[in-house]
């Protein structure tokens, strides 16, 4: 037993142990170095793609235009629907507020008021007034449209959170195409879409049924803060003459 203890405590064994310790420290240093490189590269990629801006930017900005335009023809064009709707990005939201006027509204809009504003400025018709049904404006807009499947969506179609039931509050938005291969809706959103100075909400573009936030319009212009997603499940097409 004593001979074995002497063997393990001799200088050769001690040197071997020291070499193993040094090699272990080197491996840890190299592993830490490679992990740091991976983290730095990941941060660079996230910054290059604007992810930090999506997460942390809180100020209200929009790089696009809010200059009003008159449609060139009497026909409602899908491109004009998307263009007109995006003039009001970051416009303030207020529940129960509607201002169906030609030009940029001076007051806040709610979800139905925004949809009515867009179509009134393109067709001269108030969508919620195109039916004799009663109830909230969202219900009247539902009645002034026909159902479509999600796979059939075209720019200008309208999304609803739920089937109207009596006077139950609903939410609606306008489908304006895709961003990065995902369907997006522009809508006047409430408190979940608030920003500095817009505590009740604002008009934004959201990915639909997604966990991703969005901070771009369909032309690539950025807006901040980024918008939470929507959960539109029912889709309708306005009973208007709309051309591609």
Q: Is pLDDT at 37 greater than 70 in this prediction?
A: yes
Q: Report yes or no on whether pTM surpasses 0.85.
A: no
In terms of C-beta distances under 8 Å and separation of at least 24 residues, what long-range contacts does 144-150 make, across chains too? 144/238, 144/239, 145/236, 145/237, 145/238, 145/239, 146/236, 146/237, 146/239, 147/234, 147/235, 147/236, 147/237, 148/235, 148/236, 148/237, 149/235, 150/183, 150/235
Q: Is residue 161 a contact partner of residue 145, using CB atoms and an 8 Å limit?
A: no
Say if CB 183 and CB 218 are below 8 A apart: no
**pLDDT tens for residues 157-181?**
999 999 987 666 899 999 999 999 9
- Listed in sequence order, the residues at least 6 apart from 104 whose beta carbon sits closer than 8 Å to its beta carbon are 66, 68, 87, 88
The C-alpha atoms of residue 87 and residue 68 are separated, in whole angstroms, by: 7
pLDDT on residue 38:
78
pLDDT for the residue 132: 84
**Looking at residue 190, what DSSP letter applies?**
-
The pLDDT, as a whole number, for residue 14 is: 72
* pLDDT tens per residue across span 142-155: 999 999 999 999 99
Q: pLDDT tens digits, residue range 53-63?
A: 555 567 899 99
Rounded distance between C-alpha atoms, residue 10 and residue 71, angstroms: 93
Structure tokens at 205: 């573009």
Q: Given pLDDT bands bounded at 50, 70 and 90, which one contains residue 128?
A: very high
Q: How many other C-beta atoms are found inside a 10 Å radius of the C-beta of residue 68? A: 12
199-215 mean pLDDT: 95
DSSP SS3 for 12? helix
Phi and psi at residue 26, in whole multiples of 5°? -60, -45
**Cα distance between residue 192 and residue 95, in whole Å:** 13
């Amino acid at each position: 037993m004593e001979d074995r203890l002497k063997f393990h405590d001799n200088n050769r064994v001690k040197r071997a142990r020291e070499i193993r310790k040094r090699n272990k420290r080197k491996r840890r240093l190299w592993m830490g170095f490679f992990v740091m490189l991976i983290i730095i590269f990941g941060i660079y990629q996230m910054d290059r793609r604007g992810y930090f801006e999506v997460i942390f930017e809180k100020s209200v900005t929009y790089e696009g235009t809010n200059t009003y335009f008159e449609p060139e023809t009497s026909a409602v064009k899908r491109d004009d629907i998307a263009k007109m709707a995006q003039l009001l990005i970051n416009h303030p939201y207020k529940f129960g507020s509607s201002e169906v006027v030609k030009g940029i509204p001076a007051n806040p809009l709610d979800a139905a008021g925004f949809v009515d504003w867009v179509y009134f400025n393109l067709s001269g018709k108030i969508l919620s007034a195109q039916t004799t049904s009663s109830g909230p404006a969202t219900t009247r807009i539902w009645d002034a449209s026909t159902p479509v499947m999600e796979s059939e969506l075209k720019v200008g179609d309208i999304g609803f959170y739920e089937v109207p039931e009596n006077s139950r509050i609903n939410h609606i938005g306008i489908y304006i195409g895709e961003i990065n291969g995902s369907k997006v809706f522009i809508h006047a959103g409430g408190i979940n879409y608030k920003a500095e100075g817009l505590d009740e909400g604002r008009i934004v573009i959201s990915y639909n049924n997604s966990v991703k936030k969005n901070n771009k319009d369909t032309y690539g212009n950025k807006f901040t803060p980024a918008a939470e997603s929507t959960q539109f499940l029912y889709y309708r097409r306005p009973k208007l003459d709309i051309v591609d």
